[in-house]
Homo-oligomer: A and B are copies of this chain.
Amino acid sequence: MYDGTNYAGWQVQPTQITVQSSLEAAVEKLCGINTRVFGSGRTDAGVHAKGQVFHVDIPTKFNESKFVQGINSYLASDIRVCRAVIVKDDFDARFSARRKEYRYFISTADVADPEKRLYRYHLGADVDLEAMRKSASLLIGEHDFVSFAANRNQPEKTTVRTIYSLDVSKRGTDVCLKVSGNGFLYKMVRSLAGHLVEVGQGKRNLRDTKEILSAKKRTRLVVTAPAQGLFLWKVSY
């Protein structure tokens, strides 16, 4: 689990503190070895995680609960390792992942609760959940999601992904988007969230969703929702 507020994302950067570099520093302190920690995927600066998974090669003298206790003692309190499991040699946190779930939280409350300020996109107005659900249903399944992705330096082999489910729910004044799929493109979840929020506000409609998806081209019609509302929730193997 991590609160991404104070990190320049998951991936090691030359001059900034990241979640990956923090974990590697903690592994080095605990195990005495300077080694790479491999995540299930990157998260952007400011994005949080409840269920990020990483693998690391360390000497077997560390049992699972001692590893958890030990590494947490070397981490800042905004990163916590919940569980460790000894895996087979061919396990890879990234390539063995079969399904990922992200959740995106939007606050519709008039006034943003200070306790949630780092973990919600504060919209401050109600949204049309039914309109959002209709647009969401168009996005489920196997599609080329390039219209909902941002360019990254390294181009993807394919921009086709499968979304297994995309639910829109509301609890109190919080709207939650739960999206589960076999993988996600760069900034894809935040782009889906940004678009669905605009649909919920009446700025876009079902026809726009259809057109954007079939255009297979990222344009300004899709906005990227802020990082702070996003959580990598679960990775399944």
Contact = CB atoms under 8 A, between A and B. Distances in A.
Interface string A40-79: 0000000010000000000000000000100010000111
Contacts of A82: 111
A112 B3 contact: no
B78 A111 contact: no
Contact of A80 (B68, B72, B114): B114
Contacts of A81: 111
A115 interface: yes
A119 interface: yes
Nearest to A75: B114
A156 interface: no
A3 B115 contact: yes
A119 B117 CA distance: 13
B2 A48 contact: no
Nearest to A78: B114
Contact of A113 (B72, B80, B115): B80
B77 A111 contact: no
Given A72-B111, A111-B68, A111-B72, A117 B1 contact: no
Q: How many copies does the complex hold?
A: 2
B113 A119 contact: no
A1 B119 contact: no
A3 B114 contact: yes
Nearest to A119: B115
Contacts of A68: 111
A165 to B, nearest CB: 24
A80 B1 contact: no
Contacts of A80: 111-114
B77 A115 contact: no
Interface string A173-192: 00000000000000000000
A2 B111 contact: no
B111 A1 contact: yes
24 contacts: A1-B111, A1-B114, A1-B115, A2-B114, A3-B114, A3-B115, A3-B117, A48-B114, A48-B115, A68-B111, A72-B111, A77-B112, A77-B114, A77-B117, A78-B114, A78-B117, A79-B114, A80-B111, A80-B112, A80-B113, A80-B114, A81-B111, A82-B111, A115-B119
